[in-house]
């Protein structure tokens, strides 16, 4: 594109990735968006038009990621998308990783999800320091609860094993609501962190919101 407003967004078929793509295209960006299914690529191409370029890849497939990177590189020409290639022209870019407030306060029954976000933030902190040499910023966004298809997918899981356990109430609450906050009501206050921890988490969420405005 002549204005050079290009961005790569991973996981754009639904949820935050889809919403991010919609907003960026409305602001004149060309979005290279990764999907795993051709049907999703076709659907999004129809929905977003020429401002969207589908990338068929699973981020755990190194070869597919490499091929997607080559496609992006061939389409942006000699301009920078990040800034690590000294042969390319233009200002350096930035990396924005979507984390979650559960990276600060883990929620019962969502341990694996919380662990993934803790890990993402640790990796991002390291990457931020590594890419300082190139003038590339790494930004973490910690959104609160977002009603996405992730919760619909959870409803399909067989959770019958929890019925005879003390976690039955929490599991039932999580099934009846699109928000994980209802999981909390099944637990006594003694389970939760000190109030100072919650205050710190709220502060961090505010900082993340401000960082998002600055992106």
Q: Which pLDDT tens digit goes with each residue over 160-212?
A: 888 888 888 777 776 665 454 444 444 444 444 444 444 444 444 444 434 33
- pLDDT tens for each residue of 47-91: 999 999 999 999 999 999 999 999 999 999 888 888 778 788 888
Q: Is 71 left (phi over 0), alpha (psi -120 to 50) or beta?
A: alpha
SS in 3 state form for 46-63? HHHHHHEEEEECCCCCHH
Angle at 47 between CA 22 and CA 66, to 5 degrees: 75
- Please state the domain extents for the chain: 1-77, 83-215
CB count, 10 Å around CB of 41? 20
CATH superfamily to which 1-77 belongs: NAD(P)-binding Rossmann-like Domain (3.40.50.720)
């Amino acid at each position: 594109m002549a204005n050079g407003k290009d961005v790569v967004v991973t996981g754009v078929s639904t949820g935050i990735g889809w919403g991010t793509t919609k907003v960026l295209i409305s602001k004149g960006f060309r979005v290279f968006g990764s999907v795993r299914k051709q049907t999703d690529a076709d659907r999004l191409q129809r929905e977003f038009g020429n401002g969207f370029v589908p990338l068929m890849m699973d981020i755990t497939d190194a070869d597919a990621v490499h091929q997607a990177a080559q496609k992006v590189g061939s389409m942006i020409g000699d301009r920078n998308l990040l800034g690590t290639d000294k042969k390319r022209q233009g200002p350096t870019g930035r990396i924005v990783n979507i984390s979650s407030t559960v990276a600060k306060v883990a929620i019962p029954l969502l341990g694996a999800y919380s662990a993934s976000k803790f890990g993402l933030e640790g990796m991002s902190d390291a990457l931020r320091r590594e890419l300082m040499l190139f003038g590339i910023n790494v930004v973490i966004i910690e959104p609160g609860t977002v009603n996405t298809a992730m919760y619909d997918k959870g409803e399909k899981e067989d959770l019958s094993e929890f019925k005879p356990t003390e976690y039955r109430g929490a599991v039932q609450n999580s099934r009846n609501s699109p928000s994980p906050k209802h999981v909390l009501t099944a637990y006594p206050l003694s389970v939760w962190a000190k109030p100072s921890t919650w205050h710190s988490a709220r502060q961090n969420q505010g900082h993340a919101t401000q960082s998002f405005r600055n992106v």
